[in-house]
Structure 1
Amino acid sequence: MRADRPTRVYGVDFSGAKDPSGKLYVAQGTLSADGGAFELESCVACDDRLDAFAMLLGAPDGSVWGFDAPFAPASPAYDAFGFTQWEEWLSLAAGSSRSSFLEALDRLFPAHETPCVAHGWACRHTDVACRAASPFKRVQPNLRAMVYAGWKWLSYARQAGCAVYPFDRRDAARSSSPVLFEVYPSYIARAAQGRRSLDVSAVAAYAQAYAGWREHPLSGDLGAASQDAVDACAACLTLAVVVAREGAALASGARPGFANDLEWEARMREGLIVRPSGA
């Protein structure tokens, strides 16, 4: 998020499946130094989460990454585990097998399959604001498996020097490291056309209008024929428009325009879904 040079922006449609092949995509593009133009350049499939991790490690300095995966649970869930710090969830995932992690969640938390409408053990304030699913949802998709893979991934990324928004401060050691943000592609898709679809151009047109970009961000055919690929593109576009409009707030730790009072107060435990304001 440097004002003196273009920013490389990535969007990841993450997967918690044992075999993520065909389910995990990474889209990427470039935001101009002045934030006035963005080009969504490619969308590629990953056979394994290691492929996406290798892309992260090889990304340019100052790159930003939007991940379609919950970065944290709701505050009441901390009490159920006896946790006080967000990092404890990452350590739990990194130090557990998939089966033991899921069994631990199942012992403490019943199913919660409906979209979030109220804050509680299953739903964060940011989930409620976005009408997102609970991080503890079990089916279609299994977000419990997603947070297992995602929190382990975040743990490894932080060990590699990456920063995770809003939990990590951008100190001197992390001034040029990649920064990871939680995004929710369905949010921008609903704003663009009322629902998710395979139409990347509709989301791109909405992003252009919202950010005020000089040109349409799609310059060619990305080959995004599956919903997972389209979601990766939407994740990339989401982060690009927010960085274009609110990059200074994201970099400094100031409150961005999309975060309501309850989200902002709980951010260091519950995280924030980064999104266009007022969509």
Structure 2
Amino acid sequence: MSARRVGWGMSSRVLGVDFSGASDAGRSLWLTEARETGDGLRVEDCYRAADEWGPDREDAHAGLRSRLTAFDVVGLDFPFSLPQALLDEHCDGEWAGLVEWLTLDGPTDPDEFASTCRSTAREHTGDGTASLRRETDLRRAALCPYDRMVQYQTFYGIRNVLAGLADDPDVAVAPMQDGDPATRVVEVYPAATFGWLGLYREGYKSDRRDRRATNVDGIEACSVDLGGFREAYERHHDALDSLAAVVSAGRVAENGRRPLHGPREEGHIYV
């Protein structure tokens, strides 16, 4: 397998996060901190959220929310928005309305959230289709944002993390918010990042340390200094996903790319 060459700018601090919406989210939520240098991207730290803020979901998410404002670009691994048809039905067609829907008078838990989305999707399509994907999901082979595999991440990611940033003038959640903020927060998807690099986008979890090692090698070949954390990335697939997240966040810091397709309010997966 061959990896694409990645160009890097200088000086920006970037954070990559493999997110979890589980009740003990801190146990599987990993963060990689890195900095751009003249020679590439250098990893400065890699750690589990539970070691910083404890395993409880609310504590881990609050800790993450407070820490990310110390970085220039942050890549978070969960869907930031919904398909436009669902936004039109429940959120006045806007991402800001989605934040209000999930924090004020909308669904109170991930199951109700997903059930409501499925019902709306069936009414919209008229043919029984319950799972709608955003344009960016289709482009990156990602799941529907309220699929059972990701509904907890989407619900709690928006409610517990993004909602607390939406009105911060120093933060922009891209591409829905623009400007020149101190911190830009972007949606990433490690599987798509690995796929873009020509590495294993699946089948590298569980006991497949050999495939994780291949992915680590591929990222290192893109001028990424692992900073002594290779063992963590090879042992823990969640840690490895946070490394992929920081690579994609670093690419945003380097070239400030904007979405190329799909409605802005649906969001965009940055790779």
TM range, smaller chain: 0.7 to 0.9
Matched, 1:17 2:29: no
Matched, 1:147 2:143: no
SS in structure 2 of the partner of residue 274 of structure 1: coil
In structure 2, the partner of 1:94 is 103
Shift of 1:207: 4.2
Query: What is the CA deviation profile of residues 43-79 of structure 1, one whole-angstrom value per residue up to 9, with x for unaligned ones?
Result: 111131122122124x15xx11000011111111123
Matched, 1:83 2:92: yes
Alignment of 1:141-220 (within 5 A): 141=149, 143-152=150-159, 153-160=161-168, 161-171=170-180, 174=181, 177-190=182-195, 191-196=197-202, 197=204, 198=209, 202-207=214-219, 213=223, 216-220=224-228
Matched, 1:39 2:42: yes
Task: Work out the CA distance in 1 between the residues paired with 2:193 and 2:90.
Answer: 33
Shift of 1:188: 1.9
1:136 aligned partner, one-letter code: Y
Give the 3 Å change call, closer, same or farther, for CA 83–97 of structure 1 in structure 2.
closer
SS in structure 1 of the partner of residue 100 of structure 2: helix
Structure 1, 199-208 or 79-88: larger mean CA deviation? 199-208
Matched-pair identity in %: 23
2:172 aligned partner, one-letter code: A
Task: Work out the CA distance in 2 between the residues paired with 1:5 and 1:231.
Answer: 23
Shift of 1:110: 5.5
Task: Work out the CA distance in 1 between the residues paired with 2:26 and 2:190.
Answer: 20
Q: Is the 8 A contact 1:71 1:151 kept in 2?
A: yes
In structure 2, the partner of 1:66 is 75
- TM-score w.r.t. the length of structure 1 is 0.74
SS in structure 1 of the partner of residue 35 of structure 2: strand
Structure 2 segments unaligned to the other structure (5+ residues): 1-7, 51-59, 122-128
Q: Is the 8 A contact 2:9 2:40 kept in 1?
A: no
Task: Work out the CA distance in 2 between the residues paired with 1:239 and 1:205.
Answer: 19
Query: What is the CA deviation profile of residues 176-218 of structure 1, one whole-angstrom value per residue up to 9, with x for unaligned ones?
Result: x211010000112233323342556544554465x6x4xx422
235, 243, 255: which one aligns with 1:233: 243
Shift of 1:158: 2.4
Q: Is the 8 A contact 1:64 1:180 kept in 2?
A: yes
- Superposed CA RMSD: 2.9
Structure 1 segments unaligned to the other structure (5+ residues): 113-118
Q: Is the 8 A contact 2:9 2:253 kept in 1?
A: no
Shift of 1:101: 5.8
240, 247, 253: which one aligns with 1:243: 253
Task: Work out the CA distance in 2 between the residues paired with 1:100 and 1:8.
Answer: 34
Q: Is the 8 A contact 1:16 1:150 kept in 2?
A: yes
